[in-house]
Amino acid sequence: MALEIRQQLKLSQQLVMTPQLQQAIKLLQLSRMELVDMVQQELEENPVLEEGMDLEEQEPREETTEVAEPETFSEEVKEVAGENEGLADIDWQTYLEGYNLGGSTADSYEEDDDRPSFENLLTKKGSLTDHLMWQLGLSRFTEEERRVAAEIIGNLDEDGYLKATLEEISDILGVEAEKVPPVLEKVQDFDPVGVACRNLQECLLKQVRHLGMEGSLVETILRDHIAELETRKYPTIAKVQGVSLDEVLGAAKIISGLDPRPGRPYSQEDVHYITPDIFVYKISDEYVVVLNDEGLPNLRISTFYRQALSGGGGGVDQKAGEYIQEKLRGALWLIKSIHQRQRTIYKVTKSIVKFQREFFDKGIEHLKPLVLRDVAEDIEMHESTISRVTTSKYVQTPQGLFELKYFFNSGISTTEGSSIASESVKNRIRDIVAQENPKKPYSDQKIVDMLRQHGIDIARRTVTKYREMLGIGSSTERKRLF
């Protein structure tokens, strides 16, 4: 068969996503912090955009994100751009830096200038590596031992456990294998006690010996009965060791007071505070939804570039004009997309409040089954849009702070023929376990029977799944003998 080149016309339909549409979709799924970061980046990259300043604090309004048509919207942007131009011209940072709060004499100004800057007063929490390296610098090691110790410290995880093998450390440094274990023993004597161990058993044994309990029943249990200890087979340990059950329980109580993660106090993890994207207030018998615009930059179009484009700034050549036009279109689309994002969050939250009214009135036990399609049909949007909007968005309600996704749950049938949200069932399980006798914890089957007494028909395997999702151990793991 001969190959030939021919032209052929073909008519087809396809969806093409413009960069602007992709940006709008991306904005929907960004968290509040990510949105602020993105806006700051756009402010740096797009000269047409600038952050406006408000002269007075505005009271929260129920809905402030109506999106106008492009022509009207451009006029709104121009109005915002014309506000507060006098204030925007003042260099407030220079003004405040030169202002002396302590006095007005020349001496006091001099005194302030000699003070260290705020940056020099900042500090940070020391890491586990810093703490151990500081101790290494104060210890008596040969140069070779110091290299080995530094390598050991560099291979610890955040809990303080050694993740590299001694052979790997020996190969990396090119030292003889028998020289690594003695250095490891010395590092394990550093503070915190139990650091640089290779497993939990070694870590706990190190702490027990540091307490001067060598040869005790505690050390024997850790050394010979760690598996039985984990499964709480105390009678078995007592029988094998020839001691009373009370002695084993006493030793187990001491072991429970040891630290299985000695490096955790030096963890660099910081607490992350959540700023809600939206508030739900109860006023009389109605719930009011209010967007939280605090912290979001008030974007506007730069007056300078607008005047340059209109010819007020002396005119610009064609190439510069096209550049400004392109940046202007991008700026307008960004502002419009942010408004559209806020408006969508508002509409979704409003719909959730309508569907979950009993939850807002009475609490979690009255949370109803809800799927994305219910809200999508209510506000006439696609399910994928609802999914993006509810991701990493938080609402402050009279019942507490919740992620918007929290309100979407599958339904579980009740004996009365109705359905209850899975989150409500999880909360019931949490309450049942919290009220049980620690010495006689409920089995999963017992929890099933107790739920059925409340009209909730659920299988034992489902209880097990929910219990594990809640981070609750089995009845054996929850049992306490002392």
Q: For the ranges 123-132, 158-167, 410-419, which has the lowest average pLDDT?
A: 410-419
Is omega for the bond preceding 192 within 30 degrees of 0, making it cis? yes
Query: What's the CATH code, domain 128-266?
Result: 1.10.10.1330
pLDDT, tens digit (0-9, with 9 covering 90-100), for 221-233: 999 998 888 888 8
Looking at residue 96, its pLDDT comes to 36
Looking at residue 279, its pLDDT comes to 94
CATH topology for 411-478 is Arc Repressor Mutant, subunit A (1.10.10)
Report the pLDDT averaged over residues 243-261.
Answer: 90
pLDDT over threshold 70, residue 106:
no
Residues in the chain: 482
Higher pLDDT, 331 or 288: 288
pLDDT, tens digit (0-9, with 9 covering 90-100), for 421-474: 888 888 889 989 989 988 889 999 999 889 888 888 888 888 898 898 888 888
In the numeric block, the tokens 């059925």 are attached to: 452
Q: How confident is the model at residue 269 (pLDDT cuts 50, 70, 90)?
A: low
Looking at residue 124, its pLDDT comes to 60
Q: How many CB atoms lie within 10 A of CB 319?
A: 8
3-state SS, residue 213: coil
pLDDT, tens digit (0-9, with 9 covering 90-100), for 161-196: 999 999 999 999 998 989 999 999 999 989 888 899
pLDDT, tens digit (0-9, with 9 covering 90-100), for 358-383: 999 988 888 889 989 999 999 999 88
Q: How confident is the model at residue 28 (pLDDT cuts 50, 70, 90)?
A: confident
Q: How confident is the model at residue 268 (pLDDT cuts 50, 70, 90)?
A: low
3-state secondary structure string across 314-368: CCCCHHHHHHHHHHHHHHHHHHHHHHHHHHHHHHHHHHHHHHCHHHHHHCHHHCC
Q: How many CB atoms lie within 10 A of CB 355?
A: 16
Please state the φ and ψ torsions of residue 98, each to the nearest 5 degrees: -90, -5
pTM for the predicted model, two decimal places:
0.59
Q: How confident is the model at residue 58 (pLDDT cuts 50, 70, 90)?
A: very low
Looking at residue 316, its pLDDT comes to 63
Alpha carbon distance 322, 146 (integer Å): 63
pLDDT, tens digit (0-9, with 9 covering 90-100), for 387-404: 888 888 999 999 999 999
Q: For the ranges 165-179, 237-251, 311-325, 455-469, which has the lowest average pLDDT?
A: 311-325
Alpha carbon distance 253, 259 (integer Å): 13
Q: How many CB atoms lie within 10 A of CB 407?
A: 25
Looking at residue 205, its pLDDT comes to 93
pLDDT over threshold 70, residue 83:
no
Alpha carbon distance 30, 32 (integer Å): 7
pLDDT, tens digit (0-9, with 9 covering 90-100), for 344-355: 999 999 999 999
**128-266 and 411-478, same CATH topology:** yes
Residue type, 311: G
Residue 213 contacts residue 193 (beta carbons within 8 Å)? no
- On average, the pLDDT of the chain sits at 80
Report the pLDDT averaged over residues 108-136.
Answer: 65
Map out the domains of the chain as residue ranges. 128-266, 278-407, 411-478
